[in-house]
Amino acid sequence: MAVATAPGRGAVGIVRVSGARLDALILALCGRAVAPRRATYTPFLAADGQAIDQGLAIHFPAPQSYTGEDVLELQAHGGPVVLQLLLARCLEAAAEVDAATGMARLPRLRLAEPGEFTERAFLNDKIDLAQAEAVADLIEASTEAAARSASRSLAGAFSTEIDLLRQRVVNLRLLVEATLDFPEEEIDFLQQADARGQLAKITQSLSDVLDRARQGALLREGLQVVLAGQPNVGKSSLLNALAGAELAIVTPIPGTTRDKVSETIQIEGVPLHVIDTAGLRDIGVAGDDAADTVERIGIARSWDAIAQADAVLFLHDLTRRGELAYEQAEQAIAERLHAESLTRLIHVHNKADAAGATPPPAEGLAISAKTGQGLDALRHALLQRAGWHDSPDGVYLARKRHVQALQRCREHLAAAHSHADRDDTALDLFAEELRLAHDALATITGAFTSDDLLGEIFGRFCIGK
């Protein structure tokens, strides 16, 4: 049992109980039986018969309930004290001796662990593991696109795709396993059963599912974007322009930004976690009286953020092109950036509005954070770098573990294809790769999984869900 609504005060708060044979508990709490799956307005009674509160009681008998067990929901006023009184009363009533049986009503009733209601729904085959994860993803969705995709996954769209793939792999496995029982047939198997053709079709379908899963993972996780460059190139101005708000202090004084400033924005529904960092420059070494210790720490954190970023926007100041000191500092930063994040780097040439006739370099994008010039092109470039594109079949929200499982499956299918291309007469290697591909798919929906994985997944849920 647990409070199933968010902490704090609200108009309504819900206490949820899941278990077996809740009739006696319902009678103790409500003073009467309640009709299944119908909201019954009733007082919620303390041990002395006084009303703790009045609200709606709904009884969902097993197996037609969220968890697959008997479920009781008490909808009371949403004050923290009221809900705690109801929790305490449920535990008290469960431990009381029932006059009809001479035994405690529910001797094992206890407070729920995080995600335990949804875990029971999974264990009782009400939902599969991908759908269970979609419950948490729907609650945590930070954009409308993410919420819609999570809802699609919760409805079973992702699971259906995975099950279809699994079935096709199973069908091919059955053919292989049957052939292994008749060694004299092995040589002709690949041709007669069109194993290569079946494998190619499965691989293509897997690629389509993997592409949509990657899109879903991007919707869920978002993209870490770091703004990097020398002081006063316009990093803070660009953050403010992308966010549409004055989040970072902008001044002409070098080193204004001393620590990371971050904001999450949306581009076509994709969350981007944009981080403005301290300007990169050489401010001396430790022990140098002229060095600013705080800024030095900020610059170190900037490099740490760059190392962890999915994309790095390297900002340049078009108005300072040709200045010797500026160009030397640019070269030093560029060398380190290229060494650490070549594939994640986007060159952005800022202050195009003030550059006059100075042409921007061919590499990168010319923008003005002040006027908004070029920002749409920058947004598009960020989506391209993230690998985002519209999917005609829709996107379902996925997690990194789903993408990794699909990638493992693809690797095993590729290995199976390699055996087929070599016309291996030993089909046991072909069969083993198909088995491993099948197991990888099974981990997504929970048909094959470990208790450790379940603990990790449901441990991140909120209590009451």
pLDDT tens column, 55-79: 999 999 999 999 999 999 999 999 9
pLDDT at 434: 92
Q: Answer whether residue 337 is part of any domain.
A: yes
Residues 54 and 144 in one domain: no
Residues 214 and 229 in one domain: no
CA dist list (Å): 274 to 12, 146, 310, 318, 375: 36, 18, 10, 22, 14
- CA neighbor of 214 nearest in space, from 343, 437, 387: 387
Question: Do the beta carbons of residue 78 and residue 12 sit within 8 Å?
Answer: yes
pLDDT at 249: 46
Q: Answer whether residue 445 is part of any domain.
A: yes
pLDDT tens digits, one per residue of 242-295: 887 565 444 454 554 545 677 888 888 888 888 888 888 776 544 444 446 777
Determine the Cα–Cα distance for residues 172 and 433; give it in Å rounded to an integer. Answer: 11
Q: Residue 413 above 90 pLDDT?
A: yes
- Domain final residue pick, 104, 123, 142: 123
Question: Do the beta carbons of residue 66 and residue 2 sit within 8 Å?
Answer: no
Three-state secondary structure call for residue 31: coil
Chain-centroid distance, C-alpha 271: 11
CA dist list (Å): 239 to 258, 310, 312, 320, 443: 15, 17, 13, 21, 40
Residues 100 and 212 in one domain: no
Residues 323 and 377 in one domain: yes
Task: Domain count for the chain, please give it.
Answer: 3
Task: Give me the helix-helix angle, 195-221 and 157-180, nearest 10°.
Answer: 150
| Whole-number average pLDDT of the chain | 85
CA dist list (Å): 227 to 165, 169, 243, 276: 41, 45, 13, 5
Residues 330 and 374 in one domain: yes
CATH number of residue 23's parent domain: 3.30.1360.120
Q: Answer whether residue 409 is part of any domain.
A: yes
Identify the domain containing residue 451 by its residue range.
133-218+395-458
Amino acid at position 30, single letter = C
pLDDT at 383: 85
- Domain final residue pick, 64, 91, 123: 123
Higher pLDDT, 102 or 348: 348
pTM of the model: 0.77
Question: Do the beta carbons of residue 178 and residue 208 sit within 8 Å?
Answer: no
pLDDT tens digits, one per residue of 130-176: 999 999 999 888 888 888 889 999 999 999 999 999 999 988 888 87
Report the helix count and the strand count for the chain, using DSSP H and E: 15, 11
Mean pLDDT in residue range 349-357: 83
Residues 423 and 402 in one domain: yes
CATH number of residue 161's parent domain: 1.20.120.430
Categorize the per-residue pLDDT at 51 as very low, low, confident or very high, splitting at 50, 70 and 90.
Answer: very high
Q: Answer whether residue 464 is part of any domain.
A: no
- Domain final residue pick, 59, 88, 123: 123
How big is the chain, counted in residues?
465
pLDDT tens digits, one per residue of 15-44: 999 999 899 999 999 999 999 999 999 999
Residues 275 and 367 in one domain: yes
Residues 58 and 6 in one domain: yes
Q: Answer whether residue 463 is part of any domain.
A: no
Residues 239 and 366 in one domain: yes
Residues 201 and 230 in one domain: no
Q: Answer whether residue 128 is part of any domain.
A: no
Mean pLDDT in residue range 354-377: 84
pLDDT at 184: 56
Residues 72 and 35 in one domain: yes
pLDDT at 459: 82
pLDDT at 307: 85
Residues 342 and 449 in one domain: no
- CA neighbor of 28 nearest in space, from 50, 2, 7, 47: 47
- CA neighbor of 47 nearest in space, from 3, 80, 96, 13: 96
pLDDT at 436: 94
Tokens standing for 1? 């049992």
